[in-house]
Amino acid sequence: MRRTEYPGAIRDLIAQLRQMPGVGPRSAERIALWIVQARGDQPKEIARAITETRATVRPCKRCGFFTTDEVCEICADTARTADLLCVVEQPTDILPLERTSAFRGRYHSLGGRISPLDHIGPDDLRIKELLERVEKEHFTEIIFALAADVEGEATTNYLVELLKGKPVTLTRIAHGLPAGGGLESADELTLYQALSGRTKL
């Protein structure tokens, strides 16, 4: 006896929804059944928003952040400090930094980090663009805000090597104890870095 299942269209929808990050089989089914049964236009609007976003959003020509224009809101903002540059791995790293309000300069997203295991080398990143910006925009300081892991560190070191002849101060964001984190929950490397990076009171 054949097992009863949802019609093919619903099964296909569930399979498609499962591709979204954080959506497992049960939530995909729940969302799909909501899409089938919704009385309003919401599912149509969701499909439209997906299509529209894919058609209009692209990387900023200068820094790599998201924009619907040539150049993003941050690069176009003349009120921002033009002599500070913050280098990040991904465009998604920019808003978390913005939300701290601790930095009002420009950004440069590399689009990833050097990772031999994933076959990502320097040529796969926006490093040529970074060097061109350093020549043209005359920054006084470049802050590296890459991940505090082996590949993030290796990418930072690689870029520091490339840039150390230039007339610009190179800095890196601090590594140490996260806010609210007790010593007992910190791993050895974090504590080592917190100790090495201690600041005078």
The answer to whether residue 7 forms part of the interface with a second copy (CB under 8 A) is yes
Q: How far is the CB of 75 from a second copy (least distance, A)?
A: 11
Q: How far is the CB of 58 from a second copy (least distance, A)?
A: 9
When the beta carbons of 68 and 140 are compared against a second copy, the nearer one is 68
Q: Which of 39, 78, 79, 183 binds a second copy (CB under 8 A)?
A: 79
The answer to whether residue 8 forms part of the interface with a second copy (CB under 8 A) is yes
When the beta carbons of 106 and 172 are compared against a second copy, the nearer one is 106
Q: What string of DSSP letters covers the chain?
A: -PPP---HHHHHHHHHHTTSTT--HHHHHHHHHHHHH--SSHHHHHHHHHHHHHHH-EE-TTT--EESSSS-HHHH-TTS-SSEEEEESSGGGHHHHHHTT---SEEEE-SS--BGGGTB-GGGTTHHHHHHHHHHH--SEEEE---SSHHHHHHHHHHHHHHTTSSSEEEE---SPPTT--GGGS-HHHHHHHHHT----
Encoded tokens for 33: 């059944």
Candidates 28-36, 115-123, 141-149, 169-177: pick the segment binding a second copy (CB under 8 A): 28-36
Q: Which of 98, 124, 129, 141 binds a second copy (CB under 8 A)?
A: 98
When the beta carbons of 77 and 132 are compared against a second copy, the nearer one is 77
The answer to whether residue 46 forms part of the interface with a second copy (CB under 8 A) is yes
Of 150, 121, 149, 133, residue with least CA distance to 87:
133
Query: Which residues, 118 to 177, sit near a second copy by CB under 8 A?
Result: none
Q: How far apart are CA 137 and CA 166, in angstroms?
A: 12
The answer to whether residue 67 forms part of the interface with a second copy (CB under 8 A) is yes
- List interacting residues with a second copy (CB under 8 A): 1, 3-10, 12-13, 16-17, 19-23, 27, 30-37, 42-54, 56-57, 66-68, 72-74, 79, 91-92, 94-95, 98-99, 104
